[in-house]
Amino acid sequence: MPLSEHEQKMLDEMERQLFADDPRLARAFRSGAQDRRDRRRIVLGLAGVVVGLGVLVLGVSLNFIWLGVLAFLLMLAGAVYAVTSPRSRPGGPAADQGDGGEQPRQPENGGSDFMRRMEERWEKRSGDDPRG
């Protein structure tokens, strides 16, 4: 069942408010070059694991222990490369501003303003407004 125009507007407003309240969440949902770099890291890391597995099978079949150890290290390096992210982002340290472990900004009234407004809207909509 599709949303009505009013419901879609409310949902869009809630999304904008949520992203304004939590910039880290907004950055997490942004797509673009960072996603492509992450996908490339995963693909290259998995390729390293697959090649390492093939070399491991070859090392076992040829009975070369050193080749098996080398293959294991290749698989380990590929897996680590796939699951970790690069330490520095393109654009230098200025691109990391706001990610330095600081706490998310809370509104002055304890952070409940957004939820209070949403509850008021819900009560108005459902007719349960205690104020009348």
Q: What are the pLDDT digits (tens) for 43-71? A: 999 999 999 999 999 999 999 999 999 99
| Alpha-carbon distance values, 16 to 85, 114, 118 (Å) | 28, 11, 13
> Percent of the chain having pLDDT more than 70?
71
Res. 81: pLDDT tops 70: yes
pLDDT confidence bin for 32, thresholds 50/70/90: low
Instruction: Give phi and psi for 129, each to the nearest 5.
Output: -70, 115
Q: Read off the tokens for 1.
A: 């069942």
Find tokens 């992450």 and name the residue.
38
Q: Read off the tokens for 100.
A: 């330095």
Contact 3, 11 (CB under 8 A): yes
Res 22: pLDDT: 80
C-alpha triplet 103, 108, 24: angle, nearest 5°: 30
Q: Is the entire prediction scored with pTM above 0.75?
A: no
3-state secondary structure of 104: coil
